[in-house]
Structure 1
Amino acid sequence: MNSDIEVRRLGANEAAASIDALADVLIDCVEGGASVSFMAPLARETALAFWKHVAGSVAANERILLVAEDTQGRIVGTVQIVTAQPENQPHRADVAKMLVSRAARRQGIGARLMQAVDKHALQAGKTLLVLDTVTGGDAERLYARAGWQRAGTVPDYALMPEGGLCATAFYYRPLDPARHQP
């Protein structure tokens, strides 16, 4: 695990100021074949618009944005905790857009981001997390190692960035505040 990587939460102003760097990570991941809601080639304008929306959602306290930065302060990974949920689900959050730049993979950054997800979700009063991911991908192995439980798979749920249907696995993770001290 790379101890030179800092994982931290971005506030609204920092999120807005980081849109370009976050777009770089998203574009890199889509170019690398990640099925994360976007098709290849991903236009920079589309990536920037997505992160502008995320920054607005951070400012509205609808989501938490976490980033992993290298020693030069470059964002090499990110994940979101969508805390805005329906009235009957105040205890739950969705984990979204777990992204690590291809050059920074296999250094434990994804695991560090997921540990930070647990901490920040608990601080936000969330005790159940859910996410979805491409079936059989590297992320699925990461989530299983981190203690996430697989709820099931939906075939032909989404398209891969270059086209072609892929199955999606759904995971959940109960958080026990007594075991996960923020």
Structure 2
Amino acid sequence: MIIINLESGMALSMSPPQAEDIFEQLQNQLRNRQETSPPAAGPAPKSLQLSDGHPMWDKSSGGGRDGKEWDLSNDLERAETLYHSVTPNVRFFLDFLMDRPGQLLDADEICEHSEGRFTKRSSLAGSLNGIAKPYRESQRNYPFYWWEGDPSQYAMKPVVAELFRRARTRG
């Protein structure tokens, strides 16, 4: 495992093949930094993927961590209730995260794939107010995490994503 320490006490943990891919991308960008046009399209950059036990979850800057963590073996009905009681825009957001378990996704990327639901970061953030009441009623944490930034990033733990995928199919 390769670990790169970043500012604010954050660290990236990745396999050697992932590190080699990032190193190659950095080399290419540094080599091409004086070009006026972007480099030729290549494979899409890989999002950072966090395992359920990754320490970055504990460094989330977002709230909604007052309850218990979601439990795959006991919380299917709670997850189903929350999932089916939120607005369609929140449901789209949850679907987007649960279909990319553990991936750090930035607000711009989510907006780009939202089919017009979220026209800018603020519309995404504002729509998430629609989960406040179902979250409180669930007596669990928010099913997702976020990290403030420019842009903010969002992710759902893989085990929580699996729970909510099951809840989605039961509805």
- Specify if TM > 0.5: no
Structure number having the greater helix percentage: 2
- Flag the structure with larger Rg: 2
Q: Answer 1 or 2: higher relative contact order, Cα 8 Å, separation at least 6.
A: 2
The two structures have a TM-score, normalised by structure 1, of 0.28
The TM-score with structure 2 as length reference comes to: 0.29
